[in-house]
A and B are shown apart, each in its own frame.
Chain A
Amino acid sequence: MTEFIQYLVSGVALGGVYALVALGFVVIYRASQVFNFAHGELLAFGALSMVWMTAPAVSEEDMLSIGAPEVSGLGLPWFAALPIALAATGVLAALVERVALRPLVGRPVFVSIIITLFIGALLRTAMILIYGAGGMPLATPWDPMGSFQIGDAVLGYTSAAIIGASAVALLAFFALLRFSRLGIAMRATSSDQETALALGIPVGRVFAATWMIAGGFAALAGVCVAVRDPQVDPTTGFIALRAFPAVIVGGLESPTGAVLAGLLLGVAEVMTAGYLNDALGDMGRNFHIVMPYLLMIAVLIVRPYGLLGQRKVERL
């Protein structure tokens, strides 16, 4: 039982990251019908900016000594750097939309897919040039080994921080969507762009805000990955591809579905790693990575539009 709870907690922590990434995909898709394949690079950008801002400043001479870090940081305090990293990634995402994708409105979907793939490659290369290809650790303001004892189960500070941060971000987003002026404008725009324009909603600015929010979520997910993993590098962004099944399982158009599916698949992945991998022997090595995709295929067979896929309200 203790083991089960342990797996559940790590599953939820992983699922929280998936949920953040999947939600980013979904809000962008709903706003601009673009599947953003550069999302992983935004995630990596957020994580690496965080690393760079919090890493201690190293002088020129020290850089030459053996074992010195490749890049000198800014030495900012952790919790001051976090909002800057989120905001910077948000701005970068809005920039990508404005410069590369806005001119493509009305073009076939595959054009925007190719463009986002290209932007992803571009960002990845740029990050390698700036930060180097080597991995860098992100220090945490809490003791990375520390943990709470709850009953028999152990909850690491890091897992707790990831679960807490993603829960706060997700709840804040849903509150925004439901109650704020921007949220209503976002939903109006994604439901009928022409009507939104006719009502005086500045659709361009709504797009920018949507991409900023998605970028901020990507960065937060990146920071979560960075505190969990020993090191981050520009290819950390590939984790976004592992959140991809969550988008499909939840339904491409449903923010709630993305979050639920993200949590579900996170838990499923950790459970598989915990219980199933060993049972499968040699074949089971890394089977947990395959598991979300298997679940995705299963869901697609039963519900082609995903668990909470688009259900149009229509009068009969």
Chain B
Amino acid sequence: MLELANLEVVYHGVVRVLTGVSLTVGPGEIVALLGPNGAGKTTTLRAITGLLDLHEGRITKGEVRFGGEAIGGLSPPTIVGRGISQVMEGRRILGELTVEENLRAGAHRADRAQIKRDLEKWFTRFPVLGERRHRAAGYLSGGEQQMLAIARALMSHPKLLLLDEPSLGLAPKIVADVGALVRTINADGTGVLLVEQNAAMALSLCHRGYVMEGGQIVLDGTAEALRADDDVREFYLGLGGGADARSYRDVKHYRRRKRWLS
């Protein structure tokens, strides 16, 4: 459904952040994109949603295709119209608007009857949001804001949902709730591309995953394969190799780059 082919993105005409990223998300699939800070995960999402422009970024090579059509360079509203919706990092709730208005803002193109149905659906699913529907959304707790952000992105009925760090700054219990929500969304047939630093959470949810580093995909595979991979276990899940568990002091920092980029 979504296909990135050899994507290269340059910021401000000089900073090359992505150097040939290729990945696919099939319909109804949950795909995780893992990687350390600065690997280019958020940039990848921006290239998909058309938000690069706002950050003076440009796709210089490669293609973004969605449902077989090239969507690179289209405006963000057009891309939302095609069926891709994004929850940005940090939730980005419109704090001065009420809970209900936040949801309505996510349904700019939907018709009235559908908006009404969706509002009811979400207020039933999350009674807290229903109770506070007329209160400023900025007063919700972090977890409630995350649920609101996801619900808001789903108001446009996307075929593909992009989630950027949904577990950021949330308590483990809430992270589990977010995970459960992602599963339900996926069960309803929506594809999910999940960008996470919390690899344990991401790998427990996804069908397939990619590991990004330095603007490239360095590893990919099914969730099981990734969970079993020594490097992923060591660097992302914090599980040493059992008997030969090592201290991080012994790991020379260049080793991990060398191993993956060789």
Contact = CB atoms under 8 A, between A and B. Distances in A.
Interface of A: 181, 184-185, 187-188, 191-203, 312-315
Given A181-B108, A198-B51, A191 B77 contact: no
Given A184-B104, A315-B138, A192 B77 contact: no
Report which residue of A181, A199, A200 has the largest number of chain B beta carbons within 10 angstroms of its beta carbon.
Answer: A200
A291 B246 CA distance: 77
Interface stretch (B29-37, B86-94, B197-205, B217-225): B86-94
Interface string B131-155: 0000010111100000000001100
B241 interface: no
B153 A199 contact: yes
A209 to B, nearest CB: 13
Give chain A's interface secondary structure class: helix
17 contacts: A181-B104, A187-B94, A187-B96, A188-B101, A191-B94, A191-B97, A194-B51, A195-B88, A195-B94, A197-B54, A198-B76, A199-B85, A199-B106, A202-B77, A203-B77, A313-B136, A313-B138
B49 interface: yes
Nearest to A310: B96
B139 A315 contact: yes
Nearest to A182: B108
A196 B105 contact: yes
Which interface residue of A191, A197, A198, A201 has the most chain B CB atoms within 10 A? A198
A197 B76 contact: yes
Contacts of B95: 191, 312-314
Contacts of B101: 184, 187-188
A191 B76 CA distance: 18
A185 B108 contact: yes
Contacts of A197: 51, 54, 76-77
Given A192-B92, A194-B51, A184 B97 contact: yes
Contacts of A200: 76-77, 80-81, 85, 106, 108-109, 156
A198 to B, nearest CB: 5
Contacts, number: 80
Contacts of A187: 94, 96-97, 101
B105 to A, nearest CB: 4
Contacts of B86: 198
A202 B77 CA distance: 6
Given A184-B97, A199-B153, A315-B138, A194 B105 contact: no
Contacts of B54: 193-194, 197
A313 B230 CA distance: 46
A314 B136 CA distance: 10
A201 B88 contact: no
A199 B106 CA distance: 5
Contacts of A203: 77
Contacts of B153: 199
Contacts of A202: 75, 77, 108
A201 B77 contact: yes
B108 A199 contact: yes
Given A194-B54, A200-B76, A200-B109, A314 B138 contact: yes
Nearest to B86: A198
A315 B135 CA distance: 13
Contacts of B51: 194, 197-198
Of B80, B104, B105, B152, which is in contact with the most chain A CB atoms at under 10 Å from its CB? B105
A195 B95 CA distance: 12
**Which 10 A-B residue pairs are closest in the complex by CB-CB distance?**
A200-B80, A313-B138, A197-B76, A313-B95, A188-B105, A195-B92, A202-B77, A200-B77, A313-B136, A191-B94
B94 A192 contact: yes
Nearest to B101: A184
B124 to A, nearest CB: 22
Of B92, B94, B97, chain A has the most CB atoms within 10 Å of the CB of B94
A203 B75 CA distance: 10
Nearest to A181: B108
Contacts of A199: 80, 85, 105-106, 108, 152-153, 156
Nearest to B95: A313
